[in-house]
């Protein structure tokens, strides 16, 4: 069985279908037919943009407002990832999105860590294959008036760093507010020693990537629009900046139009540190094994190229040197 590593995986976009149904029943919410529920949770070929893609997060977020819900979702998602053959995952979410009821950002993070720790404890007691290790990335959001909430996320990331949390991110609709407006938060992260990645070059163009670089990012969420700017591409290669590519998601959001010409192989052979990830498993109706199979079939991705993608992910992971040794050993076995 292949050993997979996912560095770009959103919790609210990847709530397992069975978990959605379970939590809807617990909250006494009317449960539609499986067909109708999947239409609420997943996009189809008619999805026209990132903003339309983001509409599919509405229902999952309603089910992520209690400690129990968050712990359950993290545990169930990790269980599913383990079954898919993942050996390492970084799961990202925005704590400020889950404070609509009684929770604070701190208790949201504690609930997610509880789900992570319960999974880790359970797999150790019944492990018969390589363990799945995981960490949490806390997302800041591109909203107009949430400076207090975003800075709180940064400070809490420091509090829980190495205790379940591995880094931070900037997420949300690209375009209305430039990335560079959020530089003070990442200046603070640098001062506190918090690793970070920044969404850029997905719906927005190459300039958003340049802004992320100016903010100190060494990992870029998506970054696929770098191909429009040869000088930027050269700079990313020289700096060994890592791109967290997500093929199916990029097709869904119309960030890229044809899977047969998806540029991950081209960038890989130019020397770019690219990785392949799932992004939003439920919204895009995919998972990481499917992503690799899709590129094998549509772009002739080879096993040697896949190994390079895995090793790029190990190099880029927000984890310890010992964990990277474990992951490289599993990949090269």
DSSP result, 147-204: HHHHHHHHHHHHHHBTTTEEEEEEES-SSSS-GGGGHHHHHHHHHHT--B-EEESSSS
pLDDT of residue 54: 83
Mean pLDDT of the chain: 95
- In the chain, what's the furthest Cα-to-Cα distance? 55
pLDDT above 70: percentage of residues in the chain: 99
Catalytic residues: 202
Q: Structure tokens of 260?
A: 């047969």
Each residue's pLDDT tens digit, 254-274: 888 889 999 999 999 999 999
pLDDT of residue 196: 98
pLDDT of residue 47: 81
pTM for the model stands at 0.96
Average pLDDT over every residue of 327-333? 92
Each residue's pLDDT tens digit, 77-127: 999 999 999 999 999 999 999 999 999 999 999 999 999 999 999 987 766
Average pLDDT over every residue of 276-301? 97
Q: Structure tokens of 123?
A: 């797999």
CA distance 149 to 175: 20
In this model, does residue 128 exceed pLDDT 70?
Answer: no
Each residue's pLDDT tens digit, 148-203: 999 999 999 999 999 999 999 999 988 789 999 999 999 999 999 999 999 999 98
Each residue's pLDDT tens digit, 35-67: 999 999 999 878 877 778 888 899 999 999 999
Domains of the chain as residue ranges with CATH: 4-320 (3.20.20.140)
pLDDT of residue 323: 97
Alpha helices by DSSP H, listed for the chain, are 17-26, 34-41, 50-54, 58-62, 67-84, 105-125, 147-160, 183-192, 206-214, 230-239, 247-252, 264-270, 288-299, 303-316, 321-332
DSSP result, 83-96: HHTEEEEEEEE-GG
């Amino acid at each position: 069985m292949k050993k997979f590593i996912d560095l770009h995986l959103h919790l609210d976009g990847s709530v397992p279908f069975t978990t959605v149904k379970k939590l809807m029943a617990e909250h006494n919410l009317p449960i539609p037919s499986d067909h109708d529920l999947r239409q609420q949770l997943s996009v189809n070929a008619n999805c026209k943009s990132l903003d339309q893609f983001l509409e599919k997060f509405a229902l999952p977020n309603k089910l992520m407002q209690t400690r129990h819900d968050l712990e359950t979702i993290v545990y169930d998602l990790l269980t599913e990832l383990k079954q898919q053959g993942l050996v390492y995952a970084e799961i990202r979410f925005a704590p400020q999105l889950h404070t609509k009821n009684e929770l604070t950002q701190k208790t949201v993070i504690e609930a997610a860590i509880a789900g992570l720790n319960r999974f880790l404890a359970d797999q150790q007691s019944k492990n018969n294959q390589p363990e799945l290790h995981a960490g949490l990335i806390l997302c800041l959001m591109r909203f107009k008036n949430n400076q207090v909430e975003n800075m709180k996320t940064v400070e809490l990331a420091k509090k829980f760093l190495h205790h379940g949390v591995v880094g931070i991110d900037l997420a949300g609709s690209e375009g209305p507010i430039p990335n560079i407006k959020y530089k003070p938060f990442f200046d603070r992260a640098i001062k506190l020693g918090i690793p970070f990645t920044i969404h850029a070059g997905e719906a927005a163009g190459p300039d958003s990537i340049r802004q992320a670089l100016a903010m100190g990012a060494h990992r870029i969420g998506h970054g696929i629009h770098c191909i429009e700017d040869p000088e930027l591409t050269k700079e990313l290669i020289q700096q060994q900046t890592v791109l967290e590519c997500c093929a199916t998601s990029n097709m869904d959001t119309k960030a890229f139009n044809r899977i047969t010409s998806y540029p991950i192989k081209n960038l890989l052979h130019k020397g770019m540190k690219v990785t392949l990830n799932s992004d939003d498993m439920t919204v895009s109706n995919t998972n990481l094994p499917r992503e690799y199979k899709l590129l094998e079939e549509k772009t002739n991705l080879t096993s040697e190229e896949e190994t390079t993608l895995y090793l790029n992910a190990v190099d880029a992971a927000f984890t310890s040197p010992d964990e990277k040794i474990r992951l490289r050993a599993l990949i090269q076995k």
